[in-house]
């Protein structure tokens, strides 16, 4: 049995700061940029591009990322724009099934309508791959998807997503950096610890000892962020572009994928906006 809950009002909220792109760029090119900003390749590619199948271990079991190619049988082929928005904003599939928050719709809920539109254009233009999705290996009671309706009622607040994505309200550059970090880049999903029910704790990006694949994710704010707070703007921009820290070490693990598939592909202006915003976290 499928369940639908009343979160559809979020699908029409235009939030965030639009991408600073020129009118000469095609929707495909704009969509590819949003695709890179959102880090889609890192999670949805294992053996074949965007065909899913990547295992994500967690305290609740193992989740397998889905096929997001235009395959009608196994991917997102045939989805309407409304259905696409519902998935990314509210974690609801076209047939009314709840998605687990391993899919970061808790951050993507703050994406602009235009960014969602061009992202769909890009994904619809990719080769369809007929690879079936793997069933999540999640134990009871977490395998009961209807309980996710309660989880969303408790922890999914679309208006909070909007506030998080544009919470600096100081300069256009910092607003843009906040949108990249908190909506598209979904940095909080890894850098913020979670409580026992899997929701993000309301403590900011203070680090997460139990991040993806059991990795310890460093703090970007708070008392444990002392090392990060010593970085200059140039240090952080270099790190986001090529993965090299001020000490000469290179990022590995999940952050290595983020840099390879996302932050290294940002425009100089967007990378600077992101770096400037992240450095303001120590002031909060």
Q: Using one digit for the tens of pLDDT, what is the confidence trace for 176-231?
A: 999 999 999 999 888 888 887 778 888 888 878 877 767 788 888 888 888 888 89
Residue written as token pair 């792109």 = 21
Name every residue whose Cβ is closer than 8 Å to that of residue 174 and which is 6 or more positions away in sequence: 168, 273, 276, 277, 280
Are 39 and 117 contained in the same domain?
A: yes
Are 232 and 266 contained in the same domain?
A: yes
Q: Above 70 in pLDDT, residue 57?
A: yes
Higher pLDDT, 34 or 208: 34
Using the 3D structure, point to which of 130, 158, 186 is the last residue of a domain: 158
Are 195 and 275 contained in the same domain?
A: yes
Q: Above 80 in pLDDT, residue 161?
A: no
Using the 3D structure, point to which of 135, 158, 181 is the last residue of a domain: 158
Query: Among the listed ranges 6-10, 133-137, 268-272, which one has the minimum average pLDDT value?
Result: 6-10
Are 143 and 185 contained in the same domain?
A: no
pLDDT (0 to 100) of residue 16: 45
pLDDT (0 to 100) of residue 159: 55
Q: Above 80 in pLDDT, residue 256?
A: yes
The reported pTM is 0.86
Give the count of domains, the chain: 2
pLDDT (0 to 100) of residue 188: 87
DSSP string, 104-137: -HHHHTT--HHHHHHHHHHHHTSPP---PPPPPE
Using the 3D structure, point to which of 113, 140, 158 is the last residue of a domain: 158
pLDDT (0 to 100) of residue 283: 67
Tokens matching residue 36: 């890179």
Please give the share of the chain, as a percent, with pLDDT higher than 90: 49
Higher pLDDT, 266 or 159: 266
Average confidence (pLDDT) over 266-280: 95
Please give the share of the chain, as a percent, with pLDDT higher than 70: 86
Name every residue whose Cβ is closer than 8 Å to that of residue 138 and which is 6 or more positions away in sequence: 60, 61, 62, 63, 100
Q: List the domain range (segments joined by +) for residue 123.
A: 1-158
Q: Above 90 in pLDDT, residue 122?
A: yes
Average confidence (pLDDT) over 133-139: 89
Average confidence (pLDDT) over 39-49: 90
The SS3 of residue 157 is: coil
pLDDT (0 to 100) of residue 160: 52
Contact 236, 275 (CB under 8 A): yes
Cα separation, 145 vs 132, whole angstroms: 20
Q: Above 90 in pLDDT, residue 75?
A: yes
Are 8 and 133 contained in the same domain?
A: yes
Are 193 and 58 contained in the same domain?
A: no
pLDDT (0 to 100) of residue 93: 95
Higher pLDDT, 10 or 80: 80
Residue 96: φ, ψ to 5°:
85, 10
Cα separation, 277 vs 180, whole angstroms: 9
Are 52 and 138 contained in the same domain?
A: yes
pLDDT (0 to 100) of residue 20: 47
Are 3 and 85 contained in the same domain?
A: yes
Looking at residue 252, which CATH number applies to its domain?
Answer: 1.10.760.10
Are 74 and 135 contained in the same domain?
A: yes
| Sign for the pseudo-dihedral over CA of 218, 37, 262, 62 | positive
Are 110 and 140 contained in the same domain?
A: yes
Output the average pLDDT for the chain. 84
Using alpha carbons, list the distances in angstroms from residue 48 to 32, 41, 67, 190, 215. 18, 10, 10, 25, 25
Are 126 and 177 contained in the same domain?
A: no
Average confidence (pLDDT) over 51-56: 89
pLDDT (0 to 100) of residue 149: 87
Are 17 and 153 contained in the same domain?
A: yes
């Amino acid at each position: 049995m499928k369940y639908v809950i009343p979160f559809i009002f979020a699908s029409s909220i235009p939030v965030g700061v639009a991408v600073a792109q020129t009118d000469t760029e095609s929707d495909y090119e704009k969509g590819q940029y949003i695709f890179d900003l959102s880090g889609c390749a890192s999670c949805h590619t294992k053996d074949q591009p965007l065909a899913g199948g990547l295992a994500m271990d967690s305290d609740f079991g193992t989740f397998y990322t889905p096929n997001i190619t235009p395959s009608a049988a196994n991917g997102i082929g045939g989805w309407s724009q409304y259905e696409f928005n519902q998935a990314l904003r509210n974690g609801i599939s076209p047939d009314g099934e709840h998605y687990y928050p391993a899919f970061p719709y808790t951050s993507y809920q703050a994406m602009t309508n235009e960014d969602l539109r061009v992202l769909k254009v890009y994904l619809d233009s990719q080769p369809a791959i007929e690879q079936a999705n793997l069933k999540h290996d999640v134990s009871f009671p977490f395998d009961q998807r209807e309980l996710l309706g309660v989880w969303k009622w408790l922890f999914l607040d679309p208006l909070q997503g909007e506030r998080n994505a544009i919470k600096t309200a100081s300069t256009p550059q910092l607003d843009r950096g906040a949108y990249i970090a908190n909506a598209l880049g979904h940095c909080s999903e890894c850098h913020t610890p979670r409580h026992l029910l899997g929701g993000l704790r309301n403590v900011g990006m203070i680090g997460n000892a139990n991040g993806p694949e059991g990795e310890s994710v460093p703090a970007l704010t708070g008392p444990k962020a002392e090392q990060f707070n010593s970085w200059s703007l140039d240090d952080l921009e270099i790190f986001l572009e090529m993965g090299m820290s001020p000490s000469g070490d290179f990022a590995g693990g999940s952050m290595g994928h983020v840099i390879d598939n996302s932050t290294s592909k940002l425009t100089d202006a967007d990378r600077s906006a992101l770096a400037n915003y992240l450095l303001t976290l120590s002031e909060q």
